[in-house]
Structures are given as C-alpha cells and as structure tokens.
Structure 1
Amino acid sequence: MEQYIGQFLSTLSTQKGYTENTIAAYRNDLGQFAQFIRDQRGGVVEPGEVTPDLVEAYVESLQRSEGGYAPSTVARKIAAVKSFFHFLSEQQLIGSNPALRLNSPKIKKSAPKTLSRDEIERLLAAPRQSAGPKALRDSALLELLCATGMRVTEVVNLRVDDVDWEQGEVICRSKGERERRIPLASAQLPLRDYVDNARAALQNDGSPETLFLNHRGKKLTRQGVWLILREAAEAAGIQTDVTPRTLRHSFAKHLIGSGENLRRVQKLLGHANLSTTQVYRQPPAAEAADAAVPQD
C-alpha cells in the first residue's frame, strides 16, 4: 500500500500544490491507516483488498483509542483516508471505493485565536527595545509575519531576491509552483533596515541566500522563529500563547474585519479553498458566547 500512498502524496504536491506540512500530515495519517490494516490482516494488503468493514473498523479504533483523539483529529484522519481512496478510484487502481460510505464527525468551527491590535503593537515594539543586528532581524521578521500573514515555512524559505522593493511586495513561492505576491505594507521599512544594516553582520562565507539568517550565518529555522516570537511575546507581557500561526490568523481576521474582500484574503493567504478562509468571518468562541448573553 505504501507505493500507492507515495503516488497519492506526489499528486498532492505536484498537481494540487499542497504545502510540505499538509503533505506530512497526510503521510502520517495514511501511514497509521496502513499499519492498522496490516495488523488486522496480518501482513501486506493491497488497496483493492481493503473492505468497507476494515475502513469502518479503523475509524472505530480512532474513536476508542486510549486517551482519545479530538473530534477534529479524527475528522482529519478520516478525510485523508477518503481522499486517498477517491484518488485510487479516479485512477482506476481499485474496483470499488471502500471509503465511500464513510462519514466524518461534525466539527463546530469557530474563528482561530487571534491577537488584538494593541497586542500586536506591543509585540512589534519588543525587539526595538534592543539594538544590533539581531534586534533589527527580529523586528523585520515579526513585522513581515504580521503584515503578510505568511506561513512560517514560507518565511524561512524566502530568498533575498524574493523581495520586490520597487513594487513593495514579497514573492511567496510554494512547493507546488504556486506563486503569490503579497504587499509588504508596514513591513517594508523594517525589512529594508535589516537587509541594509544587519544581514551582512550575520552573514559569513558559507551563508545561504535565504533572507533571514541566524547568529551563525545559517538559514533561520522554524524553531528559531518560534523562539524569537516567544521571547518577544514575553517581553510584551502577552499572557496567551503566541505562535506564527497566531499572527497569520490575526492578519486574516483584521483584514476581514476592516472590510477586505474574502476572495482577496484567500489569495493573500494562499488558501486552495474559500471555505478555509470563511472561518475568519466567525467570532472566536468566547466572543460568540458573550454575544449570546443579553446585554443591558
């Protein structure tokens, strides 16, 4: 079955342009499914030998697992299996689709947690309390995350020539050859300051052409971004957990809140489906609960 999973994942990457993180999630979920089927049958099983009863038994095992998966996790794993067998059916690699009657659990969607504008201003001000190349880099990094809504993987993979200074845009290239241009907006000046006055101080002879470098002159990693963000959030006195995804959610929520067209936000975020973007129209769970209580 692993051969067919590999074909499916390759299609997601080359034809649908899914991100590395999304493909990794599919790989993990389908690997778990394949292992379950092997355990049930006591050996290698071809996709055409998988029955609807086996698929349903897998779903039941997820729901009964020790500690229990969250409904959203179960829904994701079911979606991966359904997509996989739909692909095999379309490619005529199986005679019938064993996941056809599979239903996903209903998930109540609420808008992701975001930062207020005041919290974002405090976060962005934190690196400016220090001086030197690191402070300029951190300031540019946080400004870029907040002003563009880019994924952390996209930011750490940016190259110096991905910044179009003349147009005031950053060119974001994903693995599926999709390209989107995002206005730098308020990030342009801090980013220019970093490139002109700090990046060379971090660079050495072996440094890559990636835009953001760490203190050793290497490419800044995802983990490095998380540490920079955590340090800034603590300095800003923000009590809630702040991750790169929090900034991405905040970017989208504030854009829609200011009246930006939903299709435009979808394009800026690089969402394949509009339904993914529509969640930002909903109030966070706490706000929704407050709205249900009559006010004096």
Structure 2
Amino acid sequence: MSIKAFTDYLQLERNYSQLTVKAYINDINSFQSFLIEEFGDSQLNKINYTQIRSWIVQLVESKISNRSINRKVSALNSYYKFLLKIGDIEINPLLRHRALKTSKNIQVPFSEAEVAIAIDELKHEDDYEGIRNKLIIELFYTSGIRRIELVNLKLSDVDFSNKTLKVLGKRNKERYLPLLNSVLKTINRYLKERKELGVIEDNQALFLTKKGVRIYETLVYRIIKEYFSLASNKVKKSPHILRHSFATHLLNQGADLNAVKELLGHSSLAATQVYTHNSIAELKKVYSKAHPRSKK
C-alpha cells in the first residue's frame, strides 16, 4: 500500500514525469527483491542501514557505476522521506548515508562550425524524414530543448504568430521558447510533408515516424548521432551534447546566465553553471588578446 501511496505522491504532489516515477518504483522494487533474497523479508518499513549497505555492496560488486548506484539510493531515500512524512517510520535509515564518489565527466560541446556542418552542409534528403531530421537538429540547437520534451511536443505548441514554442518541462512546468525565422521556415516545410503521410495515428504529436506514430527517444538519439558522426570527431554525440552546445555558445556570446537558465528550464542557477567552464575558456582568450598587460 505504501508504494502505491508513494507513486501517487510523486505524480500528484511532486509532479514527476511518468518516466521518473517508473524509475523510482523500479529501484525500490529492486531493493525489495534483494531483501527477500538475502533476508527473507520484504517489509521496507522495518529495515536498517546495515541491510541497505549490503544492497549497495552487491550493486558495487555487480560492476554498476557509482553514479547509477547513487541514483538508486536517492530513489530509496525519497521513499523513506515519504514514509517519515506519513508517520510510517520514525527514523530514516538513510539519514547518515554518504553518496559514493563519482568522477566528473566533462561533456565537450560541439563547436559552432560542427553544428553549422550538420545543419547547413550535410545533405538532408528533400523528403519527409530528411526535413524532419533537419528540423530536429535545428530545434535542439536553437532552443536547448530536452530530448523527452521534443518527443512530447504537440502541433498546438507551435505559435507562428508569436514565434514561440510551448514546452512542457520537468514537473510539468511550462516555458515558452523563441523560434528563429529560419526554424519557422523549416517547420512550415516539415508540416507540408507531414500532411502527405499516408496514415497518421497520432494527430496531436508534432514529430512522427514515417508510419505516422509519435517519434520516440531512441530514434531521436540515432538521428543526432548519425548526422554528427559526419560533422564531428568528438566521442560523444547525443541530443544532450547539442543542448549543451546551445547553452555554451550563448554564454560565449555574452548571454546572461539567468536568461540561459530560463531557456533551459532549470529550476536553479547551479544547474546552469555547469556550462560556464567553456565560456570562461572563451573569456580567457579574449582577455589575453585584449588586456594591455597580457603580453608582459
């Protein structure tokens, strides 16, 4: 019963997405299965930190990354905070837990030249999929939209008169993003091709597969990887790197950090500040060239 109540709490009170809720519940169910296997007991509200520690050790021995383990433990911690809130437990067994150390992965953004190659120089077939793929790349780079946000876009989210795009972000928070004239032109081309699809099963979705169903996340990932494999030699090529490039290039051109935060849909400035290391590198170049004492 408490897991069902926790699910409702995440969906209704915290406004978490279905994917996030599913991930939380999967992690809790995984821990519960471990308890049954190792201790013959599945009562989550009667366990201690020693049992949780044993689970963490098993995860480490399974070669799961520390980052993934921390995410699983975080989900469990949220569950115990909920049980504490409703009075089902008196002490959170994870109260004094310290997260495992993780290495910081530096995400290298695409250069402006690489993005230009992917959008302007690579051959985009003049058919439905070619125009759709080009539009996806343009939207990622000119709006900083997340992959799941792009997948969930509706036709009605595009406002041609105001040149804006309505996006439903994390925790169902809406934000409006500006659309460049060049992107609006591509949208118009795409919509003409979309009307020519033989069968459309999802009339509301903006992006569809050629079979007329809503586009899915793995396909979006493959599209970005395919085009940027031709435009860039960087190891990682993904929608998130393109979002990262959007933020970095704005900051390099002097955009206000708070403005970039709003465009990205971040809830805190700290989340946006991870993109500033690239803009600082750019500032150092400008500084070394321009400051009168830099050559001494």
TM over 0.5: yes
- Structure 2 partner of 1:261: 256
| Gapped regions of structure 2 (runs ≥ 5) | 283-296
1:60-209 alignment, distance < 5 Å: 60-63=57-60, 65-66=61-62, 68-125=63-120, 128-174=123-169, 176-185=171-180, 186-195=182-191, 197-202=192-197, 204=199, 206-209=201-204
Calculate the TM-score normalised by the size of structure 2: 0.83
Mark the CA change 1:28 to 1:205 in structure 2 (over 3 Å): closer, same or farther: closer
Q: How big is the shift at 1:95?
A: 1.8
Q: Distance in 2 between matches of 1:18 and 1:4?
A: 18
Q: Distance in 2 between matches of 1:39 and 1:159?
A: 45
Identity across the alignment (%)? 28
Aligned partner of residue 282 in structure 1, secondary structure: helix
1:241-280 alignment, distance < 5 Å: 241-280=236-275
- Structure 1 partner of 2:24: 26
Q: Which of 5, 11, 14 is residue 13 of structure 1 equivalent to?
A: 11
Deviations 1:161-191 (A, max 9, x none): 1101111111112474321111123522212
- Report whether the alignment pairs 1:210 with 2:205: yes
Q: Which of 45, 48, 60 is residue 45 of structure 2 equivalent to?
A: 48
Q: How big is the shift at 1:128?
A: 4.6
Q: How big is the shift at 1:233?
A: 2.3
Calculate the TM-score normalised by the size of structure 1: 0.83
Return structure 1 stretches of 4+ with deviation > 6 angstroms: none
Deviations 1:142-175 (A, max 9, x none): 1111111212221122111110111111111247
Q: How big is the shift at 1:130?
A: 2.5
Q: Distance in 2 between matches of 1:192 and 1:257?
A: 30
Mark the CA change 1:209 to 1:31 in structure 2 (over 3 Å): closer, same or farther: same
Name the aligned partner's letter for residue 178 of structure 1: K
- Report whether the alignment pairs 1:228 with 2:223: yes
CA contact (8 A) 1:9 1:23 kept: yes
Q: CA RMSD in A?
A: 2.7
Q: How big is the shift at 1:281?
A: 2.1
Deviations 1:1-51 (A, max 9, x none): xx4334334323333333344333323322222222222321331x32111
Q: Which one has more relative contact order, counting CA pairs under 8 Å at least 6 apart?
A: 1
Q: Distance in 1 between matches of 2:278 and 2:28?
A: 33
Mark the CA change 1:75 to 1:240 in structure 2 (over 3 Å): closer, same or farther: same
Name the aligned partner's letter for residue 76 of structure 2: V
Aligned partner of residue 281 in structure 1, secondary structure: helix
- Structure 1 partner of 2:289: none
Q: Distance in 2 between matches of 1:207 and 1:60?
A: 45
Q: Distance in 2 between matches of 1:21 and 1:258?
A: 35
Q: How big is the shift at 1:123?
A: 1.4
| Equivalences, count | 280
Name the aligned partner's letter for residue 52 of structure 2: V
CA contact (8 A) 1:112 1:280 kept: no
CA contact (8 A) 2:17 2:172 kept: no
Mark the CA change 1:165 to 1:69 in structure 2 (over 3 Å): closer, same or farther: same
Q: How big is the shift at 1:98?
A: 0.9
Mark the CA change 1:230 to 1:16 in structure 2 (over 3 Å): closer, same or farther: same
Q: Distance in 2 between matches of 1:180 and 1:203?
A: 33
Deviations 1:123-146 (A, max 9, x none): 113565432232222111211111
CA contact (8 A) 2:108 2:241 kept: yes
